[in-house]
Amino acid sequence: MREQLCPAVRAAGEPHVQLSGLGKRYPDVTALQDLTLTVHRGEFFSLLGPSGCGKTTTLRLVAGLDCLSAGTIIIDDVLVSSPTYFMPPEKRGVGIVFQDYALFPHMTVFENVAFGLYGRPKAVIAKRVGELLTLVGLTTAGQKYPHEMSGGQKQRVALARALAPEPKVMLLDEPFSNLDAELRGALRSETKQILRYIGTTVILVTHDQEEAFSLSDRVGLLNEGKLEQVDTPYNIYHHPASRFVADFVGRADYLPARVEGGTVISALGNFTLSGPAQCADNSVDLLIRPDDVAIAADTFGTAIISDVRFLGAHALYTLHLDDGSVLHSQGLSAHLLPVCTRVVVTVNMRHTVVFPRSPLA
């Protein structure tokens, strides 16, 4: 039991899904440009990004629901797609769970799950479907129809149906977006446990940062058909490779600063640079997250609270500094400070990230 609760940390495994130079063009738009990515065997990988960035297009190309304009897709060392070759979806060993579940309304839950097992002996089908319904917590629901089930139950059926043929790779297309917040969190956790238990390779596409971070071993952030960064959730958040990444995965404020040697000098203090500045000159913008900023009421402080958002256990403060800069601070809400309180601001920078000075600064 202890081993199930605390599984060993997964090391980088062998390549399982290899996307090389993927391109997808439609008559009026280019959806993907030279996307290259390797997903390792047994890895839970997420493609994260805003609507229209190419996430679902990538998933459809891997599944075989669309054709490539450029590049290659290799699964298990076998070419499955290129501009001149196309392996049918049913031969790729890929399962997919759609955002809208895509269950057959005229079929029972049992029949839905059994759909991909057509042609096998009845006893084998019954055993496999029974195992999967037990796995997803729907042991007694086999004779129900989709319209008799809740959204969460339908999603479990869709997952069981996708797992039935024992796919090599599981693709999840925004599978939790139609659920309410509380159910969404619970089902995420259940789905992760099920897929970990089976050990399948998973590729999830989502626009939800929390979802990608909580589920994934690694995350790839897409922007207008191009990969901005591929890394662990921790590094994506704390060491963003671009302003786009920094802005997309959390609230980001920027403070004008300058770099001298290995030190970043700003109005709120000096900080040791975590890595190379990669700037043409020493004028930079210092990335500051709300959790880096602590405040305390002080009539001689250099900032004033202009807005407070109560978020339950935490509160998000908007701060106007005397020099005109605007920052945000997140703190515990037990001792809430009101608007117009003057405060002293302390920045506790654990990861110092800078970008070239914005021309709008």
pLDDT score for 1: 35
pLDDT score for 101: 84
Mean pLDDT throughout 72-95?
96
Residues 230, 111, single domain; the answer is yes
> What is the number of other CB atoms lying within 10 angstroms of the CB of residue 255?
22
Residue 132 and residue 213: Cα distance in Å, rounded?
Answer: 27
Domain range for 140:
2-243
Residues 155, 272, single domain; the answer is no
Which of these three, 243, 263, 281, is where a domain ends?
243
In this predicted model, what pLDDT tens digit does every residue of 206-264 receive, in sequence order?
A: 999 999 999 999 999 999 999 999 999 999 999 999 999 999 999 999 999 999 888 99
| Number of domains observed in the structure of the chain | 2
Q: Can you name the residues that pair with 86 across neighbouring β-strands?
A: 81
Q: Is the pLDDT of residue 9 over 70?
A: no
Mean pLDDT throughout 300-323?
95
Q: Between the CA of residue 334 and those of 294, 308, 340, what are the distances in Å?
A: 15, 13, 18
User: Percentage of the chain surpassing pLDDT 90?
Assistant: 76
Residues 323, 214, single domain; the answer is no
pLDDT score for 313: 93
Which of these three, 190, 222, 243, is where a domain ends?
243
Residue holding tokens 């909580």?
Answer: 214
Residue 314 and residue 46: Cα distance in Å, rounded?
Answer: 28
> What are 211-214's contacts with CB under 8 Å, separation 24+?
211/46, 211/176, 211/184, 212/46, 212/48, 213/237, 213/249, 214/188
